Structure 1
Amino acid sequence: MTKVAVLGSGSWGTALAAVLASNGHDCTLWSRRAEQASEITESHTNEQYLPGAVLPELLKAEHDLAKAVSGASVIVMAVPTKGIREVCRALNGVLDRPVLFAHVSKGIEPDTHKRISEVMEEELDQAVCEGIAVLSGPSHAEEVIRNQPTTVTAAAKDMEHARRVQDLFMNQDFRVYTNDDVVGVEIGGALKNVIALAAGVTDGLGFGDNAKAALITRGLAEITRLGVAMGANPLTFSGLSGLGDLIVTCTSVHSRNWRAGNMLGQGKTLEEVLDSMGMVVEGVRTTKAAHQLSVECGVPMPITEALYAVLFEGEKPRDMVDLLMGRMKKHETEDLAGWS
């Protein structure tokens, strides 16, 4: 049995904490809200984020960060990307020994263009950080909490760290592979949210399966081009944290990024969409970061560029579709020439 703290009591953090508790680990879930921590511990529910789900009785929650991480040898970071720096700084003040971190956030920090593990490496003191792994893949919390078959990837620079995360989470319903391509796994997990937003827009505009299939395919090409330019293994993008996560996020009503894009396609403004969601839509921040990175790296990302124009420049979704469809003729595989 391992003592684990999961930081972040949204849908994904709660579902992962439930997996850990069901696997027999001593798991504490940290919530920013005292009333939510009480609900999880006493009622074994988290109605705001996982309505109707019954959580393991052994799972407990804490509002106090120091109490939540006390004695833990592994900390799972499940907070939104914009809160990573703040939480890491707070941890420096409460941890008294090095622990293994596993983050499950999917995003890129705008302006700095840093991946989540890079942000954590920058903020965490060496004295408290044994190593950092990332857990990513096609995994809706709404299905994981119901013990539906799910398969993800644990990646780390040190494969022993990846294997430790694999051992913590793996069970009959939750299968975990390992990978040493941290860059690829993080880029795939982050940028699929951008393409999922765009997929939602096509549905909101009333387009069919042809358009969505094309968007997913060409979106994967964009993700891979940028990932390879940043040092990733191109094969990673054919795996769970690439194609797998892209498919599930672009096609499921569970996806908050798809839902946000769908509302944009129906004519709502970004402000109206975000106000109505009630949860973080990571793809919005990541679109800005991906657009900046594509310019910086000289990597063509036309879908990302079009979505950026809709989100931040006031362009109409239908006009951007027309722009994409009217681009100059080209050979399908010419963008893939540098991948091998």
Structure 2
Amino acid sequence: MTKMAVLGAGSWGTALANTAAENGTEVHLWTHNPKQADEINQNHTNARYLPNAKLIQTLTATSDMTSAVAGADIVLNVVPTKAVREVAKELAKTLELLDHTVILAHATKGLEQGTYKRISEMLAEEVPVQRRSALAVISGPSHAEDVIKHDLTAVTIASTDDEAAKLLQKVLSNRHFRTYTNHDLLGSELAAALKNIIAIGSGALTGLGYGDNAKAALLTRGLVEMRRLGQAMGAQPETFLGLSGIGDLIVTGMSKNSRNYRAGMALGEGKTLAAVQEDMGMVIEGVNTTKAVYDFATQYKVDMPITAAIYRVLYEGLSIPDAIDELMSRPLKSES
């Protein structure tokens, strides 16, 4: 039997851990909070992150990293971006202590604040190569709130190691959760981060009272920007037309289950960014990602007017109506 450790008992980590456990995998879900581990083990619930959801009884939780990782074939990191390095350092120490090597995967969507590094780059820096046989990323259109209810879902597992990707594919796939593989780790991670920016913009349009036409235009032109930057940075352009790209963009940019979309809605309704962040109570990955991508666009000389407009709203105090006016008044051009 394949053994898997999932690090991070938020909504997405719990949903993925539950999916793998339902498929017969031995799964240990690690959380830094002992009370949360007790709730999962005793009540088979995670009320804070997945209200009303009942978890499979074979899923076990622990606040002890060693207990979670011992004997694991796969370690799946699903902690917020800001916690990735801290948790990865602890994982590296644990693997060294156990003299153990694992497939190291993650399902976190963001870029490191300050360095702008992707999650796989952070993990590779913190976990020695002799303790990880492969790196992989899970991405695609997948709200945890829907996955836990067995809504039909399809995601991508990206890795340069085919065998590692196929093992993850086997562990996670079933009749309601389908996985595909690809080799474009860079593109999958970039798309997963970039779509959060566009989702903020889409939510802002909703908050201002705009309809489906406006959001469809924003998502379509936003995808052009995502693909443009991805190509400049070395990603495969087709990745942005798949589940990691357009798929994730649609679900994040059109649903109130998305924190980035809800944050944008609140901004469109007139709330300040500080108030939105306080009310949300969870990380809004797109806010930090906007600054990173704005700088990437400058560095790689890529035209990203939507991203630039959202950056100015978040960091320079530009009003959303003025940002929309500027975008709609740009010189006319060909789509191709």
The whole-number CA distance in structure 2 between the counterparts of 1:91 and 1:309 is 38
- CA shift, 1:98, in A, is 1.1
- CA shift, 1:328, in A, is 1.4
Counterpart in the other structure of 1:338:
none
Note the alpha carbon deviations across 1:179-229, whole angstroms, 9 max, x for none. Answer: 001111111111111100110011111111111010000000000000011
Counterpart in the other structure of 1:4:
4
The whole-number CA distance in structure 1 between the counterparts of 2:101 and 2:110 is 25
Matched positions, count: 333
Letter in 2 for 1:170: S
Counterpart in the other structure of 2:170:
167
Residue number among 224, 232, 253 corresponding to 2:227 in the alignment: 224
The whole-number CA distance in structure 1 between the counterparts of 2:73 and 2:271 is 45
Letter in 1 for 2:146: E
Counterpart in the other structure of 2:28:
28
Q: Is the 8 A contact 1:157 1:182 kept in 2?
A: yes
Q: Is the 8 A contact 2:21 2:58 kept in 1?
A: yes
Q: Is the 8 A contact 2:81 2:112 kept in 1?
A: yes
Counterpart in the other structure of 1:67:
67
Moved more, 156-165 or 131-140: 156-165
Note the alpha carbon deviations across 1:272-329, whole angstroms, 9 max, x for none. Answer: 0011111111111111111111111111111111111111111111111111111112
Moved more, 237-246 or 110-119: 110-119
Residue number among 303, 317, 321 corresponding to 2:320 in the alignment: 317
Q: CA RMSD in A?
A: 0.9
The whole-number CA distance in structure 1 between the counterparts of 2:195 and 2:162 is 25
Structure 1 position 38 matched with structure 2 position 38: yes
Residue number among 196, 202, 205 corresponding to 1:202 in the alignment: 205
SS at match of 1:45: coil
After superposing on structure 2, the runs of 4+ consecutive aligned residues of structure 1 that deviate more than 6 Å are: none
Counterpart in the other structure of 2:129:
126
Counterpart in the other structure of 1:140:
143
SS at match of 1:127: helix
Equivalences for residues 68-87 of structure 1 within 5 A:
68-87=68-87
The whole-number CA distance in structure 2 between the counterparts of 1:311 and 1:159 is 40
Counterpart in the other structure of 2:179:
176
Residue number among 146, 150, 154 corresponding to 1:151 in the alignment: 154
- CA shift, 1:268, in A, is 0.7
SS at match of 1:94: helix
The whole-number CA distance in structure 1 between the counterparts of 2:216 and 2:151 is 25
Moved more, 9-18 or 123-132: 123-132
SS at match of 2:299: helix
Q: Structure 2: which 5+ residue stretches go unaligned?
A: none
Letter in 2 for 1:55: L
The whole-number CA distance in structure 1 between the counterparts of 2:68 and 2:273 is 36
Counterpart in the other structure of 1:97:
100
The whole-number CA distance in structure 2 between the counterparts of 1:100 and 1:16 is 16
Q: Is the 8 A contact 2:82 2:113 kept in 1?
A: no
Q: Is the 8 A contact 1:111 1:292 kept in 2?
A: no
Counterpart in the other structure of 1:115:
118
Note the alpha carbon deviations across 1:231-274, whole angstroms, 9 max, x for none. Answer: 11111111000001100111111111100110011111111001
Q: Is the 8 A contact 2:153 2:176 kept in 1?
A: yes
- TM-score, scaled relative to structure 2: 0.97
Letter in 1 for 2:167: R
Counterpart in the other structure of 1:283:
286
SS at match of 2:4: strand
What percentage of aligned pairs have identical amino acids?
Answer: 53
- CA shift, 1:120, in A, is 1.0
Counterpart in the other structure of 1:337:
none
- CA shift, 1:127, in A, is 2.3
The whole-number CA distance in structure 2 between the counterparts of 1:113 and 1:160 is 29
Structure 1 position 56 matched with structure 2 position 52: no
Letter in 2 for 1:296: Q
- CA shift, 1:64, in A, is 1.6
Q: Is the 8 A contact 1:138 1:241 kept in 2?
A: yes
- CA shift, 1:110, in A, is 3.2
- CA shift, 1:97, in A, is 1.4
- TM-score, scaled relative to structure 1: 0.96
Moved more, 48-57 or 66-75: 66-75
Structure 1 position 304 matched with structure 2 position 272: no
- CA shift, 1:102, in A, is 1.2
The whole-number CA distance in structure 1 between the counterparts of 2:37 and 2:274 is 30
- CA shift, 1:124, in A, is 1.0
Note the alpha carbon deviations across 1:61-97, whole angstroms, 9 max, x for none. Answer: 1112222212211101100111111111111111121
- CA shift, 1:113, in A, is 2.4
- CA shift, 1:157, in A, is 1.2
